[in-house]
Structure 1
């Protein structure tokens, strides 16, 4: 294989990997949004935007409060 052909081949593989990484990232973003796994990140962004300087709960504190709220308000789920 000539040097220029090798470079072209490597560039093609790089493009394929780059596309695959972007696709995987988009799929991860979609999945996290659908399952609610991104709720903490969205809450922290909300706090920073609407309540700057407010204390930010830890991930553990956030999920504990979220699940406690779900137990207090069972109408928010189907079963």
Structure 2
């Protein structure tokens, strides 16, 4: 039971981070280790910049959305 509550808490925290746009670096690292062990993972700074660019626009700073 305690393990299920802990897992639910982790899912809730991950969902809240995604809602406010805060990327989950730990989940990314786990994914890279599990599915792409032959590729190097980004550092936290690289990951954060890449997620910001994906959300707000490319390296040129322009927004890619209509609104």
- Fold in common (TM above 0.5): yes
Where does structure 2 lack aligned partners over 5 or more consecutive residues? 1-5, 58-63
Contact 2:32/2:41 (<8 A) preserved: yes
Pair member with larger Rg: 1
TM-score (norm 1): 0.48
Contact 1:47/1:56 (<8 A) preserved: yes
The structure showing larger relative contact order (alpha-carbon pairs under 8 Å, at least 6 residues apart) is 2
TM-score (norm 2): 0.55
**CA RMSD for the aligned pairs?**
2.8
Q: Which residue of 1 aligns with 2:31?
A: 46
Query: Higher helix share goes to which structure?
Result: 1
Q: Which residue of 1 aligns with 2:54?
A: 69
Aligned residue for 2:28, secondary structure, equals helix
